[in-house]
Amino acid sequence: MEDITKLNKNKTCAILGASGLIGQQFIRMLYDHPSYQIHSLYTSSNSEGKTVSEVWALPDFQTPFGVKDTTFKNINGLYEIDEFDFDIVFSALPSSVALPIEEYLRSKGMAVFSNSSAYRMDPEVPIMIPEINPDTLELVKNQKIKYNGGFIVTSSNCSVTGAAIYLNELLKIHKIDTAIITTYQALSGAGAKGVSAVQGMGNVIPFINGEEEKIIVEAKKILGSVMDGRIIDKDINIITTCARVSVIDGHLESINARTLEQVDIDVLFKQLRAINSPLEHPHHIAPSKHLIVRSEKDRPQPRIDLYAGSPDWSAKGMAVTVGRIRKQSFDDETWINAFVLVHNTIRGGAGGSILNAEFIENHDML
Ligand SMILES: NC(=O)c1ccc[n+]([C@@H]2O[C@H](COP(=O)([O-])OP(=O)(O)OC[C@H]3O[C@@H](n4cnc5c(N)ncnc54)[C@H](OP(=O)(O)O)[C@@H]3O)[C@@H](O)[C@H]2O)c1
């Protein structure tokens, strides 16, 4: 029987770092994608020659049938290809590895969608979240002119994605001058070989190397605005504390945001709940609501809310959930308190990059 998921695929994709946790989410999500077809999978020499099913480690998902016997190629082979016969690169490499290869691919005119932090703070490169900063398309256009059609578009750090999607909507309602973000981050955020079972299970590790700094600079860039082809950072104070907790997937974040305005918490709740996705063009994996607001006292929870997002068949795990919206007032200042949850390897990882590709393609730039 014909596999209908393979019909009408108009772009072929290479996945770099395909054996890792983000790489496997790319495989799973692209396998089911109506427009993008998996072309080749690249890793280091460690996984070269292994099959996808040999490394598969995603909780909740089986190895996609049609790629279970596909083998990984050595990434160094990319430097030997004269003319690429795929259209898009999705990168899930460690940052030090991503730095030279992503730049090389861009210089060859390739569209690179990266999950690594290597180019996130490069002034030419956007950290794109289409529901927040569609104006960063201008940076893509400028790169295409400079690099012979090639460009790099990054997705944000997984924790930043959740915080930025919530704060962006809050900032449209209240003037916020300070946000205190405390994260409770899943073990999968450290990658396939990141935290050992002995360290991670039944434990909280109150340090994640470089994470607190990344959240501050990336959130300001994402929430910023584009002026004459440059991003002007959002003027907001951000204070961060990050911890690794004994959860498999899903980063929970406590966000306390300060405003000097009067806040009616019931009105704010209704305003946030009424928000729909601003994306106008059809996107396969965009959720109809990018921010889901819960009213229950004890939500969001990773175990219950991890796969938020509808339609369920294409967008699960693509919505951010916010709950426990409260306020505390002192003299003339009010703190708006909330908990936010993001699926770190879907919305905060592979799904974020695939949405960026769809968004750019819908603007005829891919
Ligand atoms: N995990 C998350 O929640 C998350 C979320 C957002 C962004 N990110 C970012 O996404 C990237 C991937 O994260 P991950 O969690 O998927 O990591 P991971 O599970 O450790 O996977 C890393 C991947 O990179 C490959 N790799 C490592 N060294 C290499 C080298 N020298 N040359 C070629 N390939 C190499 C690995 O291949 P081998 O199997 O051959 O070693 C593997 O496929 C990182 O930059 C991370 O910061 C992660």
Rounded mean pLDDT, 278-285: 86
158 as an active site residue: the answer is yes
Q: Residue type for 70, please?
A: T
Q: Is the pLDDT confidence value at 2 over 60?
A: no
33 as an active site residue: the answer is no
Closest CA to 176 of 123, 246, 223: 223
> Exposed/middle/buried for 84, CB within 10 Å: 0-12, 13-18, 19+?
middle
Q: Is 344 in the pocket of ligand 1 (CB under 6 A)?
A: yes
pLDDT of 3 reads: 39
Residue tagged 């899943």 (tokens): 186
Distance between Cα 197 and ligand 1 center (Å): 19
Rounded mean pLDDT, 111-130: 98
In the numeric block, which tokens belong to residue 41? 């999978």
183 in Cβ contact with 252 (< 8 Å): yes
CATH numbers and ranges of domains, the chain: 4-157+350-362 (3.40.50.720), 158-343 (3.30.360.10)
Write the DSSP string, 287-311. -S-SEEE--STT---HHHHTT--SS
Q: Is 185 in the pocket of ligand 1 (CB under 6 A)?
A: no
Query: What separation in angstroms does the CA of 57 have from each of 60, 89, 310?
Result: 9, 22, 25
pLDDT of 217 reads: 98
pLDDT of 4 reads: 36
pLDDT of 197 reads: 84
Residues above pLDDT 90, as percent of the chain: 93
281 in Cβ contact with 362 (< 8 Å): yes
Question: Is the backbone of residue 41 left (phi > 0), alpha (psi -120 to 50) or beta?
Answer: beta
Query: What separation in angstroms does the CA of 324 have from each of 205, 228, 238, 272, 302?
Result: 24, 39, 20, 13, 14
Coil, helix or strand at residue 267? helix
pLDDT (tens digit per residue) in 22-68: 999 999 999 989 999 999 999 999 999 999 999 999 989 999 999 99
Q: Is 116 in the pocket of ligand 1 (CB under 6 A)?
A: yes
Q: What is the rounded CA–CA span in Å between residue 332 and residue 340? A: 26
Closest CA to 265 of 238, 295, 223: 295
Q: Is 342 in the pocket of ligand 1 (CB under 6 A)?
A: no
From 26, 28, 89, 93, the mutation candidate for ligand 1 (largest count of ligand atoms within 8 A of CB) is 93
Helix ranges (H only) for the chain are 21-31, 52-55, 95-107, 137-146, 158-173, 197-200, 211-222, 265-273, 302-305, 312-315, 351-362
Confidence label for 280 from pLDDT (cuts 50, 70 and 90): confident
Q: Residue type for 191, please?
A: G
Rounded mean pLDDT, 92-105: 98
Distance between Cα 195 and ligand 1 center (Å): 13
Distance between Cα 116 and ligand 1 center (Å): 8
Confidence label for 283 from pLDDT (cuts 50, 70 and 90): confident
Q: What is the mean pLDDT of the chain?
A: 95
204 in Cβ contact with 274 (< 8 Å): no
Which residues lie closer than 8 Å to 338 by C-beta, 6 or more apart? Answer: 166, 254, 255, 257, 322, 323, 324, 325, 326
Q: Report the nearest-CA residue for atom 11 of ligand 1.
A: 92
Closest CA to 356 of 191, 156, 163: 156
Q: Is the pLDDT confidence value at 230 over 60?
A: yes
Closest CA to 167 of 114, 216, 115, 228: 216
pLDDT of 8 reads: 59
pLDDT of 7 reads: 43
